[in-house]
Structure 1
Amino acid sequence: MAWPLLLFAALALPPSAAARPSAPATNSSSSPLTNVTLGVVVAERDLRSLLGPALELALEALEPQLSRAALCVRPVYASYRDCSVAAEKSETLKAAHSPDVLLGLGCDSEDDDVGRRASDWGLPLVTAGHYYRDPEFKTMVYAGPAGSTLAVFLTLLHRRFNWTSRAAFALSRAAENSHPDHSLLRIRKRLLDAPKFIGARKKYRRPDDAVRFIRAHGRVVYIVGSVEMVRRIIHLAQVQNMTNGDYVFFYLDLFGESLRAEGHREAAKPWQSMESQEVGGLREAFQTVLVITYHEPQTTEYRQFQSQRNLRAQRDLGVALNDSLQEKLVAGCFHDGLVLYIRALIETLDEGGSKRDTSRILKKMRRLKIQGVTGTVSINGKNDREMDFDLWAMVNVERGQYQVVAHYVGSEQRINWTGQIHWKKGEVPLDNPPCVFDKVGSSCGKHGCFLLVLLPGS
């Protein structure tokens, strides 16, 4: 007997926003059909541009597995314009449809309380967009790009270059507020596990004060903020003779906006401004700047997924998608997160469990490793995806061209080196050179890890 794979959308949603019904699937087993309801709680803008096409493509890719497992998948939707009502919308959806799992792209603030609701209801919550995690979000699986997994990569870099102290973190207040997962607290905590580190937090209203502080106390500098802020810091560092090779600056530009061609800025040249390529000699100073981004897959599967996503968004929703790494990666990660959940669900059912056995399903999601359109999908013990990162360095000093020199593989916690870093002085900068920070005695005895916050107006 042939069983159709049913894909329904909530009646309140326009048909263009619903997942497209798939071709009928054949149930070759004698097992009764199991209905699985996907509760999709998402901002309206994300439903049209990110989640809708990705959900449709994921369900189509899953059709053979769903058919063999005798599963009937039914997405139901609750959309919102403001994160403050997301939890209320999720309660309405639960009351009306009793979903077996919640899906969404989340919010980046405490206004998003869907994670707490999901935990209270004992439902898995698979999300991939904005990152906000509370200790009470016990059933949330974050399948998307999370800066929280960056700490392992940086720890490996420090180990490779023998840096055990003098790490300075500079971030704008805007960056800290808008990207709580990029506030470096987890990264700082991981680095501070080394016994020689001492934590301190300093606030400066002006970048030049912060740069003077870094000059006196730091050597390995991490910067989070706009590319304009980075150029200003590097210019000030250049004036202070800090770009001669004694310091190394890491710009955490996770979605690679500074490497995109925009305005008058050429691709892979973050030292150029969008208004003009003449930036007062910053090209040479940026030789001391390394850029860290998420890794964008280069596989045929990833390219095909993005091509199909663009086509369907334009054809079905009338939406022209932008080419930003953030949107492409989030959409791909959501697709893979849903595929991972279905795989875990099928294994649970095959072993005699039920679709509401949340703890068992979550355990399997942490154990499984699958190959998705965004590469290997691996969930760590905190229910966050182990993301891949790229390290960019200036490989052509004359042209100021950046290129990937290392790829961090999150699922293996390993760095693959694909190029060389051209250190300004021909060797790795020392993080704690003798008799520089402590001129009493034969070596520097003080160590520190500093977190700087540049306040508005900087």
Structure 2
Amino acid sequence: LTLAVVLPQHNLTYPWAWPRVGPAVRLAAAAVNSRRDLLPGFTLGWVFGNSEDRHGVCSEMAAPLVAVDLWLAHHPAAFLGPGHWQLPLVTAGAEAHGFDDKSEEFGLTTRAGPSHRKLGELGVQLHRRFNWTRRALLVYWDERVDDRPYYFTAEGLYVQLPTLRNLTVMDVVFRHGGNFSFIIQEIKAKGRIVYVCCAPDTLRELMLQAEREGLTGGDFAFFYIDTFGASLQGQRFPEPRRPWHRGDPHDARARRAFQAVTIITYKEPENPEYRPFVQRLREEAREHFNFSMRDGLVGQEP
């Protein structure tokens, strides 16, 4: 049996880049092949195809072409990455709300990573728990030229929060060179429960402006959506100072401002099997992919 893997090969900005996923694929195949009861009469192997374009971006054009090539050459039984031909698909991506529809093309898709619908459901539970029944505001970065990760993250909240009766959900979009003062004025006018989706450094600039204009004293609640804990990634993980600390003259103010921020991120597993598995993953990555991982929700190169 052949497993086809279609992932970005070199671009480590993607949590599911091949140097991170490859070690797990190798370990999984070895574990399956070591047990005669799992696939009696078969040996599980895998083939890899790169989904990056010439700019190193995970491409909606390159990935399907690679998938077709793998299908024609190897006739795989399942895919990791984009899938078709009524074959099972396991992916760490496909977070967007649209992938929730299992009635047609996504019926055989299994998501092993986060889904933005679950994030939206968490938002619903927060509003119910604290009786926030009037407004919610989504503030997110969207250049409309990349994979639009912050847009799709905010989408989960945008779709799920209105299931609360009478709750008004509004949004504020900003781009490179955004006017933070304008964004703060929008927040003042539109809502006190604020969900923010952007890069960690951008969040810090936004919160410094919020502190200047008096929004961090307790009247406004800011929730920073940081799925893989990028804002907490320092020399160790989690690094409690990392969200606000940059070693510049603004650190003291940033620390005060971040008292108004709650970071929503994944929780690392605590089951006893997790740490030994991570250690084996690191060894595989170092030996077979020349890639060094460190602590964190996404293994980073040092």
TM-score normalised according to structure 1 size: 0.55
**Does the 8 Å CA contact 2:139/2:171 hold for their aligned counterparts?**
no
**Counterpart in the other structure of 2:44:** 74
Which segment is superposed worse, 176-185 or 241-250?
176-185
One of 44, 55, 59 as aligned partner of 2:29: 59
Letter in 2 for 1:237: A
Residues 63-91 of structure 1, C-alpha deviations (whole Å, 9 max, x = no match): 46543551513323141242322211211
Distance 1:66 1:312 in 2: 23
* Contact preservation (8 Å) 1:148, 1:181: no
* Preserved CA contact (<8 Å) 2:29 2:44: no
Could you say what secondary structure the match of 2:23 adopts? helix
Report the equivalent of 2:139. 170
1:188: which partner in 2? 158
- Alpha-carbon distance, 1:290 to partner: 0.7
Matched, 1:313 2:285: yes
Q: Could you tell me whether the CA contact under 8 Å between 1:102 and 1:124 is conserved in 2?
A: yes
Aligned counterparts of 2:262 and 2:9: Cα–Cα separation in 1:
37
What do residues 325-371 of structure 1 show as CA deviations (whole Å, max 9, x unaligned)?
Answer: 2248xxxxxxxxxxxxxxxxxxxxxxxxxxxxxxxxxxxxxxxxxxx
Q: Could you say which residue in structure 2 is the equivalent of 1:124? A: 88
Summarize the Cα distance change of 1:218–1:102 in structure 2 as closer, same or farther, 3 Å threshold.
same
Counterpart CA distance in 1 for 2:197 and 2:253 is 22
**Paired residue for 1:49?**
19
Q: Paired residue for 2:113?
A: 144
Higher strand share: 1
- Whether 1:224 aligns to 2:197 is yes
Q: 1:236 aligns with which of 180, 184, 209?
A: 209
Where in structure 2 are the equivalents of 1:377-392 lying within 5 Å?
none
For residues 142-179 of structure 1, the C-alpha deviation after alignment (integer angstroms, 9 at most, x for no partner) is: 11123332111121111111111221111112498531
Q: CA deviation at 1:323?
A: 3.9
- The question of whether the paired residues in 2 share the 8 Å contact of 1:170 and 1:223 is answered with yes
The SS at the match of 2:251 is coil
Is the 8 Å Cα contact of residues 167 and 218 (structure 1) preserved in structure 2? yes
Q: Tell me if structure 2 keeps the 8 A contact 1:131–1:181.
A: no
| Alignment map for 1:10-29 (pairs within 5 Å) | none
Give CA-to-partner distance per residue, 1:414-445, whole Å, 9 cap, x none: xxxxxxxxxxxxxxxxxxxxxxxxxxxxxxxx
Distance 1:142 1:174 in 2: 26
Corresponding pairs, count: 279
Gaps of 5+ in 2: 11-15, 54-58
| Cα deviation code 1:235-277 (max 9, x no counterpart) | 22222222121111111112112222269xx921245333437
Over residues 395-432 of structure 1, what are the superposed CA-to-partner deviations in whole Å (9 max), with x where a residue is unaligned?
A: xxxxxxxxxxxxxxxxxxxxxxxxxxxxxxxxxxxxxx
Query: Partner amino acid for 2:234?
Result: A
Cα-Cα RMSD: 2.9
Q: Cα deviations across residues 201-232 of structure 1 (Å, max 9, x unaligned)?
A: 44564121111121122111111112222222
Return the alpha-carbon distance in structure 1 between the equivalents of residues 271 and 249 of structure 2.
33
Aligned counterparts of 2:294 and 2:94: Cα–Cα separation in 1: 18
The answer to whether the Cα contact below 8 Å between 2:150 and 2:197 also exists between their aligned partners in 1 is no
Task: State whether residues 222 and 251 of structure 1, in contact with CA within 8 Å, keep that contact through their aligned partners in structure 2.
Answer: yes
* 1:214 and 2:187 are equivalent in the alignment: yes
- Opposite residue 319 of structure 1, the aligned amino acid is F
> Percent identity of the aligned residues?
29
Partner Cα distance (2:239, 2:223) in 1: 19
Code of the aligned partner of 2:67: S
Q: Distance in 1 between matches of 2:267 and 2:121?
A: 15
**Distance (whole Å) between structure 2 residues aligned to residue 261 and residue 173 of structure 1:** 26
Structure 2 vs 1, CA of residues 251 and 165 (structure 1 numbering), >3 Å: closer, same or farther?
Answer: same
CA distance in 2, matches of 1:123, 1:287: 48
Structure 1 ranges of 4+ moved more than 6 A: none
User: 1:171 is aligned with what amino acid?
Assistant: Y
Matches within 5 A, 1:287-302: 287-302=259-274
2:130 is matched with which residue: 161, 167, 171?
A: 161
Distance in 1 (CA, whole Å) between partners of 2:213 and 2:17 is: 48
- TM-score w.r.t. the length of structure 2 is 0.80
Q: Matched residue of 1:86: which SS? A: helix
Q: Which has the higher contact order (CA 8 A, sep 6+)?
A: 1
Question: Would you say the 8 A contact 1:166–1:220 is kept in 2?
Answer: yes
Does structure 1 retain, via aligned residues, the 8 Å contact 2:138–2:172? Answer: no
Indicate the SS of the match to 1:88. helix
Kindly provide the amino acid, as one letter, of the partner of residue 100 in structure 1.
A
Q: CA deviation at 1:94?
A: 1.3
State the SS of the aligned residue for 1:305.
helix
